[in-house]
């Protein structure tokens, strides 16, 4: 049997006795050593006073030390004298975007310089992109080299009014090829593919898509154009602002000098009233209050005139002078005083001084200056002269990387405003293309063809379509929005001209035409004047008259359509009317060509003929500068002197010159129906260059 393991029991003697256990013995504590605590009491008020006095003494000592240091210049060093620190030299940066922005700004500046005719052989350098668009002076140590200067100029092509003569295109003769200039011509013809550029021509990359709102800077890649400055420009922290173009020079119609060298002036002229109850007004316009009337054949004294001579200051009605139209009170029976220049017409109101308008009268509206580089109307200005501030130098090359194209042919002349070139297409859309690179900005489906040139005024675009609708659009940058739409029921036959807030446009068909005066703000037709015969020509606006020419020639007051004068003997007008003031033979002149191919110069204020010239061939356009009237037609441009009425020259063109030439005082630019550009010298007619628009 196995042995069981377990706890052994204790013996009885080792167990504690039953009952409560006795308490353990307690050892006595050692005796304590007595401790004594001493409390010392001090005066707290005395302690506070002592500390305060010490702090005050330290503060006074510190203030004294500071004053002594300041007076002895030990606290601050001497004030440094400001010295000019030379700026680090400008250097190019590899930042691609900033470089492109500088190029874009410079391209726009190049366009403005083109209109000013800037030409120097040494190109400048582009400034650092930190100041985009600025120019640095050229390196004077470098050897100057002649570099062609590309320049961009916008010149719209012109549509032909009425029947188009058959054009016989002939090849251009040898044309001079001076420094090339870039000219953008959005003409109203179908554009074919560009020819392959020659090895020495610059090849442009295709245009990029232009975003919506386009201010002055164009955010697309545009090839940089180097401009030769007339003088080294000064660096400034602002982008360059193009200087406004100089005003178009005009001849000053000063009276001829006498033997003593003084201008020939008279104090008054004798005149006779032509119409019964001729109104006399407080000021020189129909807007001013009528002060009386004059009877027919009554004699008055003319004391002064307006600058254009349209109104004269006559005496007297109820012993008071007043204003009357010269057409109603013509000078007559005036002899020449002693000392008058030989050949002087004594009945010319130009010999009167300009009469100031009475103080306090409401001023009359004046034409709004055309922004530099814009081309707002069919013939640039409302007088239809076709005269620009300055034409480009020949010859030309394409400025856009590729021609601006629509889905069908472009059929209207183009106009230019701000960043936009506006033109209509046969696809019934009105297009806006970027003026710098030709990218499409927007297009608007108007639902009808538009063959007449648009007009742009104050950011608004006005068009007249073949269905007889007059439409106003607002250009919003990436779209155009309709403002108003007026139906006339007759197709448009002219583009718009303008006087203040009134638009003038011709409509009609089949020998019956109307000249409409339209409110620019809402499109309401204010007045209508009907003409018959040959198609109505573009209305030229003078001082306060609008000139309508079709089967007859009529001068209407721009505000109330009063017929001021009429010429029924001038019929079937084929070119003109064109208004010019100051004139050469008269204070204001009107030029036109009739159905007998005679060029007429009329007094624009009275309708009296000043001279006529047998042109000998059909004419389709007129232009005017200081010295010449330029007549153009099928295969020719000729210059007729305005003073001696003689042909100065005749130049051959490669076909029909559409609409009329563009001129300044030095050059003539003509565009034929086949797309050939001719540059001519205005004085001699000599060929300066040319190009064929593809």
Q: What is the pLDDT of residues 373-399, one digit of tens each?
A: 999 999 999 999 999 999 988 877 888
Cβ-based neighbours of 368, under 8 Å, separated by 6 or more: 457, 458
How far CA 535 is from CA of 570, 678, 684, in Å, comes to: 14, 28, 34
pLDDT of residue 271: 96
Q: What whole-number distance in Å separates Cα of residue 161 and Cα of residue 656? A: 13
Tokens of 198: 């020659």
Q: What whole-number distance in Å separates Cα of residue 271 and Cα of residue 282? A: 19
Q: Which residues pair with 320 in a beta bridge?
A: 317
Q: How many CB atoms lie within 10 A of CB 298?
A: 14
pLDDT of residue 56: 87
Answer yes or no: is pLDDT of 443 > 90: yes
Q: What whole-number distance in Å separates Cα of residue 690 and Cα of residue 677? A: 5
Q: What whole-number distance in Å separates Cα of residue 685 and Cα of residue 681? A: 5
pLDDT of residue 92: 41
Q: What whole-number distance in Å separates Cα of residue 589 and Cα of residue 604? A: 5
**Least confident interval from 207-221, 334-348, 447-461, 637-651:** 207-221
DSSP 547-574: EEESSSEEEEETTT--EEEEETTS-S--
Q: How many CB atoms lie within 10 A of CB 525?
A: 15
Q: What whole-number distance in Å separates Cα of residue 685 and Cα of residue 42? A: 123
pLDDT of residue 345: 86
pLDDT, greater one: 603 or 25: 603
* CA 394 centroid distance within chain: 23
Answer yes or no: is pLDDT of 426 > 80: yes
Question: What band does 140 get if pLDDT is binned at 50, 70 and 90?
Answer: very low
Buried b or exposed e, range 25-47, using 16+ CB within 10 angstroms: eeeeeeeeeeeeeeeeeeeeeee
Cβ-based neighbours of 58, under 8 Å, separated by 6 or more: none
Answer yes or no: is pLDDT of 69 > 60: yes
pLDDT of residue 61: 86
Q: What whole-number distance in Å separates Cα of residue 126 and Cα of residue 135? A: 5
pLDDT, greater one: 682 or 148: 682
pLDDT of residue 687: 94
Q: What is the pLDDT of residues 480-499, one digit of tens each?
A: 999 999 999 999 999 999 99
Cβ(103)–Cβ(222) below 8 Å = yes
Query: Computed over its alpha carbons, how large is the radius of gyration of the chain?
Result: 44
Question: What band does 194 get if pLDDT is binned at 50, 70 and 90?
Answer: very low
Buried b or exposed e, range 448-487, using 16+ CB within 10 angstroms: bbbbbbbbbbeebbbbbbebbbbbbbebebeebeebbebe
pLDDT of residue 686: 95
Answer yes or no: is pLDDT of 550 > 80: yes
Q: What whole-number distance in Å separates Cα of residue 184 and Cα of residue 342? A: 50
% of the chain surpassing 90 pLDDT: 53
Tokens of 537: 């020509």
Q: Mean of the pLDDT values across residues 103-117? A: 47
Q: How does DSSP classify residue 12?
A: G
Question: What band does 651 get if pLDDT is binned at 50, 70 and 90?
Answer: very high
Topology (CATH) of 269-335+346-351: SH3 type barrels. (2.30.30)
pLDDT of residue 559: 95
**Least confident interval from 36-40, 157-161, 248-252:** 36-40
Which of 66-70, 86-90, 315-319, 671-675 has the highest mean predicted lDDT (pLDDT)?
A: 671-675
How would you class 512 by CB atoms within 10 Å of its CB: exposed for 0-12, middle for 13-18, buried for 19 or more? middle
Cβ(124)–Cβ(229) below 8 Å = yes
pLDDT of residue 38: 37
**H helix or E strand, kind and range, residue 669:** strand 667-671
301 torsion bin: left (phi>0), alpha (psi -120 to 50), beta (else): beta
pLDDT of residue 28: 52
Cβ-based neighbours of 33, under 8 Å, separated by 6 or more: none
Q: Mean of the pLDDT values across residues 273-290? A: 94
Answer yes or no: is pLDDT of 353 > 70: yes
% of the chain surpassing 70 pLDDT: 65
Cβ(593)–Cβ(651) below 8 Å = no
Give the position of tokens 């030379």: 86
Find the length of the chain. 694
pLDDT, greater one: 156 or 420: 420
Answer yes or no: is pLDDT of 159 > 50: no
pLDDT of residue 97: 41
Give the position of tokens 């000078």: 331
Which of 210-214, 253-257, 419-423 has the highest mean predicted lDDT (pLDDT)?
A: 419-423
Question: What band does 21 get if pLDDT is binned at 50, 70 and 90?
Answer: low
Answer yes or no: is pLDDT of 190 > 90: no
List strand residue ranges (DSSP E) for 362-479, in order.
396-397, 415-417, 420-424, 429-434, 440-445, 455-457, 460-464, 469-475
Q: Mean of the pLDDT values across residues 31-60? A: 65
pLDDT of residue 583: 94
How far CA 399 is from CA of 139, 150, 182, 675, 678, in Å, comes to: 28, 8, 5, 16, 18
Tokens of 590: 């009107």
pLDDT of residue 371: 92
pLDDT of residue 199: 34
Answer yes or no: is pLDDT of 275 > 70: yes
Percentages (nearest 5) of helix, strand, coil residues in the chain: 10, 30, 60
How would you class 431 by CB atoms within 10 Å of its CB: exposed for 0-12, middle for 13-18, buried for 19 or more? buried
pLDDT of residue 264: 74
Question: What band does 19 get if pLDDT is binned at 50, 70 and 90?
Answer: low
Answer yes or no: is pLDDT of 82 > 50: no
pLDDT of residue 296: 93
Which long-range CB contacts under 8 A does 1-10 form with residues at least 24 apart?
none
Residue ranges per structural domain of the chain: 269-335+346-351
- Among candidate residues 497, 420, 490, 487, the one with its CA nearest the CA of residue 453: 497
First to last CA, the chain: 133
How would you class 230 by CB atoms within 10 Å of its CB: exposed for 0-12, middle for 13-18, buried for 19 or more? exposed
Q: Which residues pair with 598 in a beta bridge?
A: 614
Round the average pLDDT of the chain to a whole number and report it.
76
Answer yes or no: is pLDDT of 562 > 60: yes
Cβ(636)–Cβ(652) below 8 Å = yes
pLDDT of residue 263: 62
Q: How many CA atoms lie within 13 A of 313 on its CB side?
A: 20
List strand residue ranges (DSSP E) for 261-353, in order.
269-273, 278-281, 290-294, 299-305, 311-317, 320-325, 329-331
Strands 440-445 and 429-434: antiparallel
Q: How does DSSP classify residue 295?
A: -
Tokens of 515: 């000249």
3-state secondary structure of 103: helix
Which of 83-92, 149-158, 515-524 has the highest mean predicted lDDT (pLDDT)?
A: 515-524
Tokens of 411: 């059929």
């Amino acid at each position: 049997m196995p042995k069981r393991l377990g706890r052994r029991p204790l013996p009885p003697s080792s167990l504690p006795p039953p009952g409560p256990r006795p308490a353990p013995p307690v050892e006595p504590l050692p005796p304590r050593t007595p401790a004594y605590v001493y409390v010392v009491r001090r005066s707290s008020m005395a302690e506070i006073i002592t500390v305060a006095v010490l702090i005050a003494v330290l503060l006074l000592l510190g203030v004294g030390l500071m004053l002594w240091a300041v007076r002895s210049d030990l606290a601050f060093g001497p004030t440094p004298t400001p010295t000019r620190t030379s700026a680090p030299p400008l250097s190019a940066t590899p930042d691609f975007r900033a470089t492109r922005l500088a190029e874009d700004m410079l391209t726009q500046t190049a366009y403005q310089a083109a209109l000013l005719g800037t030409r120097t052989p040494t190109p400048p350098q582009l400034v650092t992109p930190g100041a985009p668009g600025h120019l640095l002076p050229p390196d004077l140590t470098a050897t100057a080299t002649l570099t062609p200067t590309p320049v961009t100029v916008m010149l719209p092509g012109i549509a032909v009014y009425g029947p188009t003569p058959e054009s016989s295109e002939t090849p251009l003769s040898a044309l001079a090829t001076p420094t090339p200039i870039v000219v953008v011509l959005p003409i109203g013809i179908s554009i074919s593919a560009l020819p392959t550029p020659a090895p020495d021509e610059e090849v442009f990359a295709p245009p990029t898509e232009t975003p919506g709102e386009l201010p002055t800077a164009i955010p697309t890649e545009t090839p940089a154009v180097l401009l030769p400055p007339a003088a080294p420009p000064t660096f400034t922290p602002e982008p360059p602002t193009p200087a406004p173009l100089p005003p178009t020079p005009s001849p000053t119609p000063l009276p001829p000098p006498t033997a003593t060298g003084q201008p020939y002036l008279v104090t008054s002229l004798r005149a006779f009233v032509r119409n019964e109850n001729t109104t006399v007004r407080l000021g020189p316009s129909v807007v001013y209050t009528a002060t009386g009337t004059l009877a027919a054949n009554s004699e008055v004294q003319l004391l002064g005139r307006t600058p254009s001579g349209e109104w004269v200051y006559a005496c007297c009605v109820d012993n008071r002078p007043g204003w009357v139209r010269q057409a109603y009170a013509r000078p007559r029976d005036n002899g020449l005083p002693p000392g008058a220049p030989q050949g002087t017409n004594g009945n010319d109101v130009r010999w009167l001084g300009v009469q100031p308008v009475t103080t306090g009268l409401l001023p009359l509206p004046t034409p709004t200056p055309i922004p530099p580089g814009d081309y707002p109307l069919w013939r640039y200005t409302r007088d239809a002269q076709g005269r620009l501030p300055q034409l480009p130098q020949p010859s030309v090359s394409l400025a856009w990387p590729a021609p601006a194209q629509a889905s069908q042919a472009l059929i209207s002349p183009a106009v230019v405003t701000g960043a936009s070139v506006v033109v209509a297409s046969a696809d019934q859309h009105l297009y806006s293309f970027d003026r710098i690179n030709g990218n499409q900005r927007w297009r608007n489906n108007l639902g009808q063809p538009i063959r007449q040139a648009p007009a742009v005024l104050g950011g608004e675009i006005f068009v007249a379509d073949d269905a007889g609708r007059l439409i106003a659009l607002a250009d919003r940058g990436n779209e155009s929005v309709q403002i108003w739409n007026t139906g006339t029921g007759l197709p448009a036959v002219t583009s718009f001209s303008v006087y203040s807030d009134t638009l003038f446009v011709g409509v009609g068909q089949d020998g019956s035409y109307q000249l409409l005066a339209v409110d620019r703000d809402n499109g309401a037709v204010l007045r209508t004047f009907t003409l018959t015969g040959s198609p109505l020509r573009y209305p030229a606006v003078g001082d306060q008259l609008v000139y309508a020419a079709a089967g007859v020639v009529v001068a209407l007051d721009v505000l109330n359509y009063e017929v001021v004068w009429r010429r029924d003997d001038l019929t079937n007008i084929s070119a003109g009317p064109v208004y010019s003031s100051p004139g050469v033979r008269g204070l204001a002149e009107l030029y036109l060509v009739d159905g007998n191919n005679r060029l007429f110069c009329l007094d624009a204020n009275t309708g009296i003929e000043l001279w006529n010239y047998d042109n000998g061939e059909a004419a389709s356009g007129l232009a005017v500068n200081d010295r010449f009237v330029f007549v153009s037609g099928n295969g020719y441009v000729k210059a007729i002197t305005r003073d001696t009425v003689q042909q100065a020259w005749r130049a051959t063109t490669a076909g029909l010159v559409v609409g009329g030439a563009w001129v300044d005082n030095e050059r003539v630019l003509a565009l034929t129906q086949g797309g050939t550009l001719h540059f001519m010298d205005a004085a001699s007619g000599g060929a300066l260059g040319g190009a064929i628009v593809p």
